[in-house]
Amino acid sequence: MNRQDLIDYRNNLNYLNEKFNDIIARREKLYKITPTYMDSAGASSPIQDKFVEELVKIIDEEVNYLKNVKESLNKLRKIEEALDKIKNTTYRNILYDLYISEKRYNLTQVANRINKEYKYTCVLHGEALSEFDEICANIW
């Protein structure tokens, strides 16, 4: 594990959020469209089969989504274990805010949160990543 895992974790969170929204939208669309088709077609077998096929596809995507969420949570546990070993709380806060927090702070916002100038926060961010890499190298 290293700094790339932090970036991958954040990117994966973005992907999972979008995937979740897509699954929900497809499921809602399917449920809105299906009654209209079934009413007009008299609930014929081909329409029911199409509904079931689409529903199975969505359920398969949900299962894959949940597997990805489980993998992401396992990665988060490892990342947090490494973050907990960082003694410098400023470093820990920077990494947490940028990569873990659900609020999705950017570096400017982090600089404001820790009351430091942006350029200095960039330096601190680099130092925090280096310490994270070092800790991860010793753990794994």
3 state SS for 77-97: HHHHHHHHCCCCHHHHHHHHH
pLDDT of amino acid 1: 85
Would you tell me how many other CB atoms lie within 10 Å of the CB of residue 70?
10
Which residue range is the domain that position 13 belongs to? 3-139
pTM, full prediction: 0.75
Supply φ then ψ for residue 117, to 5 degrees. -75, 155
What pLDDT, in 10s, does the model give residues 40-94? 555 556 767 788 888 899 999 999 999 999 999 999 999 999 999 999 999 999 9
User: Cα–Cα distance between 41 and 6 in angstroms, integer?
Assistant: 52
C-beta separation of 82 from 131 below 8 A: no
Overall domain count for the chain: 1
